[in-house]
Amino acid sequence: MRKALSILARSVAIFVPVFLVATFVTFALRALSGLSPASLQLGESATPEAIAQIEHQWGLDRPFLTQYFDWFGDMLSGDLGKSWYNGADISRLLVEGAAISLSVAGLALVIGVVFGFGFGVLAALRRTTWVDRAITGFTTFISVMPSFVVGIVLVGVFAVGLGWFPSAGYAPADRGVGVWLAHITLPAIALSFDTVSDVARQLRAGLVAAYRENYVTGAVVRGLSPRRVFFRHVLRNGVGPALAVLGLKFPNLLGGAVVTEAIFGMPGFGQFAANSAQRGDVPAVQGVLVVSIVLVVVFNLLVNLVLARVAPASARGV
C-alpha cells in the first residue's frame, strides 16, 4: 500500500503541472486564433459595434488572465461553458459524445490487449520458429494498415456483404448489450490493429529479453517447471514495455475515433471535435481538449500504478 501511494504521489506531482500548462495553452487558443462568437452569430457583415456587443455578452472584453481563471474555476466544477454555435451546454454534449467514443476505444483497447498479449506470448514461447516469424510478419502487416481502410473493408464485408453487423449508427447499452456490442464491434476492430501490433511486438521483445536473464537461467537450473518460470520470472519482468505502450496507445485511440466515427456514422467525441473545429466553435474545441487531457492523464496514471504492481523494476526507474 505504501509503495502504491508513493507511486501515486509521484505521478500526481508530474501530471498536475502538465495539466495546468495544458489547460492554459488550451484556453489561449481563442486569443491565438483570433476567432469570435460574433463571426458565427453575425457573419462577415457585422459592424464593429455589434461585434463589441457580442464579445461583451460573452465576457471576452475582460483581461485575458481574468477570463482564464474564471474559465478554470468553472472547469473544475464541471462547467465547460456554452457553445458559440448554438448556445448548448458543452459539458452535456461532451458527455453524450464521450460515451460513444469511450465505448469504441474501450473495446478496441480490450481487443488490443487480448490479442496483443496472446500473439506476444505465443511468439516469445516459440521464438526463432516459424510461429514466431509468422506472428511477427502478421503484426508488421496490420501495423501499416490505416484504420479508415480497415473500417471500409469491414463495412463492405461484414455489414454490407454478410449482414452480420450494422453498417452505421450507434445504439446505447440500455437498448440491450447485444445491440450495443453489434454497433461498436466493427469500429473497435478497425481501431485495434495498431494496438494489437505494438503490444504483441513489445511483449515479445520484453519476454525474450527476460528469458536471457541470469535469474531465469538459475530458475531453470534449480529445476522449476517451465510454467512456473514463465509466470513467476519471465512474464512479470518482461511485461513492462507492453504495459507502457498501452499508455501511449490510448491517445491514439481517441484521435483515431475522428476518422472511424465518420466512416461508421457515429456521433461521438471525435465527430463533435471535428465539427466544432470546422465551425470555429472555440469553447467546444477547448472542452474537447480538456476532456482529452483528463482522460489521457488518468489512463497513464492507472498504467503507472499497474506497472508498479506488476513490474516492480519500473517503480525504481529501472
| Structure confidence by residue, pLDDT tens digits, 177-232 | 888 888 888 888 888 888 888 888 888 888 888 777 777 777 777 767 777 777 77
> Position 280: which residue type?
G
Signed CA dihedral, 267, 97, 179, 155: sign only: positive
Spatial contact of 209 and 240, defined as CB atoms under 8 Å apart:
no
Model pLDDT, residue 115: 92
Spatial contact of 246 and 109, defined as CB atoms under 8 Å apart:
yes
Model pLDDT, residue 317: 41
Long-range contacts, stretch 123-131, CB < 8 angstroms, 24+ apart: 123/200, 123/204, 124/203, 124/204, 124/207, 124/208, 124/211, 124/234, 124/238, 125/230, 127/204, 127/208, 127/211
Choice among 29-43, 121-135, 139-153, 158-172 with the minimum mean pLDDT: 29-43
Signed CA dihedral, 162, 167, 170, 175: sign only: negative
Spatial contact of 208 and 124, defined as CB atoms under 8 Å apart:
yes
Model pLDDT, residue 226: 72
Averaged pLDDT, 113-138: 87
In which band, very low, low, confident or very high, does the pLDDT at 99 lie, cut at 50, 70 and 90? confident
Cα separation of 285 and 119, whole Å?
38
Q: What is the mean pLDDT of the chain?
A: 78
pTM comes to 0.75
